[in-house]
Amino acid sequence: MTTPDHPLLGTFTVTVYEPARLTPVAPWTYVLHAKDLEAARGIALHHHVRLYDLDTHWDTGAPIANPDAAVVEGPSNTFNGAPDWPAHTPGRAWTDLRADPTALAMAGDVSAITAATR
């Protein structure tokens, strides 16, 4: 996956966890483009809930649980820039969303909005 530069958007790292999860798992860390850290937090939470935390009824597709995800704050978890460790570091792995059309569209990249709707 290529990670295009976006001169009007910064790069941010955001870590998300699920405090009420019955089986403990490590937090998820995302690297993405956004206009600021606050927007990056929202984009990462949206991505996480959409993919991992929004359970739906098998037959109806209706939501059956309230999403329970939160941002892990702290200088080694949520910060400006990309991590300085490799993406597949055991215990510190991260997912690169910098080329994800939905994440870019949420960040305000108009070309990504067009690509995501095709």
Spatial CB neighbours of 4, under 8 Å, sequence gap ≥ 6: 98, 99
CA distance 4 to 99: 7
DSSP secondary structure string, 44-92? HHHHHIIIII--B-TTT--B-S----EEE-STTTSEES--SS-TT-TTS
Q: Is the pLDDT of residue 5 over 90?
A: no
pTM listed for this prediction = 0.80
Which tokens is 69 given? Answer: 């995800």
66-99 confidence digits (pLDDT tens)? 677 889 999 999 999 999 999 999 889 999 999 9
Q: What number is the average pLDDT over the span 46-62?
A: 76
Highest mean pLDDT among 1-5, 58-62, 100-104, 106-110: 100-104
The domain segmentation of the chain, as residue ranges, is 10-116
54 within 8 A of 118, measured Cβ to Cβ: no
